[in-house]
Structure 1
Amino acid sequence: MKVINIAKEFSAYPVGRFYTDGPDSGERFREEFLAPAMKDGGLVRVELGGTEGYGSSFLEEAFGGVVRKFNLSEADVATRLELVADDDPVDQSYLTETLEYIANACRDNKRK
């Protein structure tokens, strides 16, 4: 299993959707961290805790985007991606939001 701690390995301030939004964008995280970790098909654990917060565009682009990139189903996500958040209510809300983006992207993939 590969582990990515966003705060320690990427940024304490993950915001923005695209590369053009800055160095802490969801597109950069997806393309340079998450997608390479997921390429071999094994489980990737992403630790969400420890940041100063998340922009919703970051979460949607990083996680919804990786689902679209690899054309993942909900069953695929369950075996390939594990998201972990601290017990803090704010971190739990980011986890819930991220899971919604993933579910929406999976539904979009079904329609293709």
Structure 2
Amino acid sequence: METKNELIFKIMSYSQSPGPRYCDQGDDSGEDFYHSILNYKFYQAYNEKKTLIIDLDGPDGYASSFLDEAFGNLVYDFGKELVENILKVKSEEEPEWIEMLNDTYEEWEKRRKGGKAPKITIEHPEWYRFMNNKLTQKQWIHLSSGK
């Protein structure tokens, strides 16, 4: 149950069967989940000064690449520290996914600091990124250029 200081999203409301890493690999991908749901929910929680709780329980299961892509992009766009301050991931069914995500955060923070942009496989509408101590919304990466 959501409290006034929390924003809760159940991945099951996105998909009963989360898919692969990229949109061009199949439906309900980590790339799609990030760009269609997670980026905006994180922005909303940040703006409203709430904790964003992502509930992993319910779906049939996950490919680790789905979680890596979705939550890795979040770290890339907002930074590990901000993600760890705002986001809480929960799972009673498979708590090992939470441990895996901690490794994901470290890897994607290194990638962010190294300037290695995430891959996109379709054009996405504008999304939020935390840069220069403020949130900015734009289309950060274009399919045609890969930049």
Task: Settle same-fold status: TM greater than 0.5.
Answer: yes
2:7 is equivalent to residue 2 of structure 1: yes
Instruction: Name 2:24's counterpart in structure 1.
Output: 20
- CA-CA distance at 1:24 after TM superposition: 1.1
Q: How many residues align?
A: 106
- Post-superposition CA distance 1:40-76 (Å, at most 9, x none): 4242110011121101110110001111123x13x21
TM-score (norm 1): 0.83
- Post-superposition CA distance 1:67-98 (Å, at most 9, x none): 1123x13x212211110011x3xx11222112
Report the 3-state secondary structure (helix = DSSP H, G, I; strand = E; otherwise coil) of the residue aligned with 2:21: coil
- CA-CA distance at 1:15 after TM superposition: 1.9
> In structure 2, how many angstroms separate the alpha carbons of the residues matched to 1:24 and 1:109?
24
> In structure 2, how many angstroms separate the alpha carbons of the residues matched to 1:47 and 1:99?
16
- Unmatched 5+ stretches in structure 1: none
TM-score (norm 2): 0.65
2:53 is equivalent to residue 45 of structure 1: yes
Instruction: Name 1:103's counterpart in structure 2.
Output: 106
Aligned-pair Cα RMSD in Å:
1.6
Identity %: 26
Segments ≥4 residues shifted beyond 4 Å: none
More strand by share: 2
> In structure 2, how many angstroms separate the alpha carbons of the residues matched to 1:37 and 1:81?
10
Report the 3-state secondary structure (helix = DSSP H, G, I; strand = E; otherwise coil) of the residue aligned with 2:69: helix
Give yes or no for contact 1:49–1:85 (8 Å, CA) kept in 2.
Answer: yes
More helix by share: 1
- Unmatched 5+ stretches in structure 2: 1-5, 116-147
> In structure 2, how many angstroms separate the alpha carbons of the residues matched to 1:2 and 1:27?
21
Computing the radius of gyration from Cα coordinates, the structure with the larger value is: 2
- Point out which structure has higher relative CO (alpha carbons under 8 A, 6+ apart): 1
